[in-house]
Amino acid sequence: MTATTDAVPTDDLTTEVTSCLEEHWDPDLTVEEWWDRLGRSGWAVPTWPVEWYGKGLSRAEGVRVMQTIGTFGALGAPGGLGTLLAGPTIIVHGTEEQKQRYLLDIVTGRKAWCQLFSEPGAGSDLAGLNTRAERDGDEWVVNGQKVWTSGGHWSDLGMLLARTDPDVAKHQGITYFALDMHQAGVEIRPLRELTGRAMFNEVFLTDVRVPNDAAIGGLNNGWAVANTTLMFERSGLGAGGGGGSVAALPGTVGGDLARRAGDFLRTRDLTSGGGGGSPTSVQQLAALARGNGTIADAEVRQQLAQLYTLNEIARYTNLRQRALSRAGGEIPGLGNIAKLSMSRILRLSRDLSGRILGPYATLHAYDAADAETLAAATEGAVQPGVTESMLFAQAPQIYGGTDEIQHNILGERVLGLPKEPNADKGKAFRELPKNG
Ligand SMILES: Cc1cc2nc3c(=O)[nH]c(=O)nc-3n(C[C@H](O)[C@H](O)[C@H](O)COP(=O)(O)OP(=O)(O)OC[C@H]3O[C@@H](n4cnc5c(N)ncnc54)[C@H](O)[C@@H]3O)c2cc1C
C-alpha cells in the first residue's frame, strides 16, 4: 500500500485497495477490529493527507475506493460527521497535539462526533449564536441550547460553537471547541422528523466543562473554523458524502463496535429507504415506471430525462473540477453549486416518485411490520424505500445552509454582487437585539 498524491489510474487503485482487503478483511472480526485495520491502512479516509491516516487522494478517487470496498464485500469505512466534518476541520486548524488526540479515533470509528452549531435563534444567522463559554482556570464553563443536532444521541464528541467574547462584533467573539458529550449537564432530547425517525436532537448544555486545549483554531477564531466545517459540509453532502451507506454506527454509544463486522453486510431492510439521504436512482424510478405502466405518461418520461440530465451535469462538473484541480485551479463556489444541485435533484426525484407511484405515494411504512402489511394489502405497490426518500427530500434544502443562503453566498462572494444590508456591522454582540 503506497501513498500517493497524484491521480491514480482506476485499475491500479482498485488493485491496491483489493489487495489490502484480501489481506485484512475478515467478516468474523468485530467492527472495532476491522475499522482499526482499515483506518490504520489509510483506506478508511483516503482523501486525508498521508501523514494523517489518508492517501492524499482526490474526492473522485476516494469515491472509487469506497465502491471497491463495497464491491469486494467488506464493511465500508466509518461514516458520520467525524470523517465528514470534524476530522477535515482539525486537519486544517488543529494543533499537532490535537491531531494526535482526535484523528485516529475518527478514522477507526472509535469516537463519533456531532455538530453543535445551530440554536433556536441562530440557524442561517449562525454568528448570532447565544451559547456562552466562560473561562474558569484551564477550563471553560458552557451554558446554552443547541438544536437539530444530527446524531447527538450517539456521539462521543461535539463540534461546539460558543461565544467567548460578547464585547466584540458577533463574528469575532466565537470559539470552536471539541466538547466531551459524556458529562453531567449535557442533556439530549430527540426530535422526531417527517420520516418517523429521530435522527436529530435538542441539546441543552448546563455548566458543562471543556478544557482550554480543546479549542480548535485558537480563542475567538471560531467563525473561520466553522466556515471550514461548513465548506466541507457543502462539498461533502453535494458529492453524496456522509457515509450514510454504512450500516454500522461509529462511536462508543451506538453499540455496534463490539458486533461482528460481517453481520452488517446483510441486504438493507426495505424500510431503511435511502438511508435518510440517498436519492432513489433514475434507473430505479425508470424500472418502477415501466413496471406499473406510468412510463406511458409523457411527463414521467420528460422528468426521467431531466433527472438523468441533472445527474450527468453534476457528474461532469465533478470531472471538470478534477481536471482543473490537477492544473492547480478550481471552480469558484463549487461546494455551494454542488449542494444546490443535490437538493434540486432530490426534489425532482421526490416529485417524479409521486407521479409514478400515484396514490400509493401517500402510504408509507415506518417499520418492517408496516412494510409487510402494506405490501400484502397493495400487492407490493407500496414502496417504503422510495417514500422514505420522498419524505427526506425536504431536508437537504435546509441543512448545511439553506438554498437561499447558498444563493446569497454565490451572489456576494463569487459573482461580486452588492452585499445584503447589515445593521449589525461594527456593533458588539452584547448590544445587538436578541430573538426571544
Ligand atoms: C436534516 C437536518 C439536519 C441538521 N443537522 C444539523 C446538525 O447536525 N447540527 C447543526 O448545528 N444544525 C443542523 N441542522 C440545522 C440547519 O443547519 C439549520 O436548520 C439551517 O441552517 C437553517 O436554519 P434555521 O432552521 O434556523 O432557519 P432560519 O435561518 O430561521 O431560516 C428560515 C427561512 O428563512 C430563509 N432565510 C434566512 N436568512 C436569509 C437570508 N439572509 N436571505 C434569504 N433567505 C434567508 C431561510 O433560507 C429559510 O427558508 C440540520 C437541519 C436539518 C434539516
pLDDT string in tens for the chain (436-residue length): 433 444 455 678 999 999 999 999 999 999 999 999 999 999 999 999 999 999 999 888 898 999 999 999 999 999 999 999 999 999 999 999 999 999 999 999 999 999 999 999 999 999 999 999 999 999 999 999 999 999 999 999 999 999 999 999 999 999 999 999 999 999 999 999 998 989 999 999 999 999 999 999 999 999 999 999 999 998 776 654 443 446 899 999 999 999 999 999 864 433 333 334 456 789 999 999 999 999 999 999 999 999 999 999 998 998 898 888 888 888 999 989 999 999 999 999 999 999 999 999 999 999 889 999 999 999 989 888 899 999 999 999 999 899 999 999 999 999 999 998 888 888 999 999 876 5
Q: Environment class of residue 74 by beta-carbon count within 10 Å: exposed (0-12), middle (13-18) or buried (19+)? A: buried
What are the C-alpha distances in Å from 114 to residues 149, 150, 178, 180, 200? Answer: 7, 6, 10, 11, 10
Of the listed 16, 61, 233, 388, which one is catalytic? 233
| Neighbour tally for 193: CB within 10 Å | 16
CA of 166 to the centre of ligand 1 (A): 23
Mutate to test the pocket of ligand 1, among 201, 402, 410 (most ligand atoms within 8 A of CB): 402
- What are the CB-based long-range contacts (under 8 Å, 24+) for 302-308? 303/348, 303/351, 303/352, 303/355, 304/352, 306/348, 307/282, 307/345, 307/348, 307/349, 307/352, 308/282
CA of 131 to the centre of ligand 1 (A): 17
393-423 as b/e, with b when 16 or more CB fall inside 10 Å? bebbbebbbbbebbebbbeeeeeeeeeeeee
Question: Which ligand 1 atom sits nearest the alpha carbon of residue 420?
Answer: 41
Beta strands 157-163 and 113-116 are parallel
CA of 398 to the centre of ligand 1 (A): 5
Nearest-CA residue for atom 1 of ligand 1: 395
In the chain, the amino acid numbered 330 is: E
CB 336 within 8 A of CB 406: yes
| Residue ranges around ligand 1 (CB below 6 Å) | 114-115, 117-118, 123-124, 148-150, 200, 395, 398-399, 401-402, 404-405, 408, 420
For residue 62, the cross-strand partners are: none
Q: What is the pLDDT of residue 278?
A: 55
CA distance 203 to 145: 6
CA of 118 to the centre of ligand 1 (A): 8
Q: What is the pLDDT of residue 380?
A: 87
Nearest-CA residue for atom 50 of ligand 1: 399
Reply yes or no on whether 233 is catalytic.
Answer: yes
- Global pTM reads 0.90
In the chain, the amino acid numbered 192 is: R
Q: What is the pLDDT of residue 189?
A: 97
Mutate to test the pocket of ligand 1, among 81, 117, 148 (most ligand atoms within 8 A of CB): 148
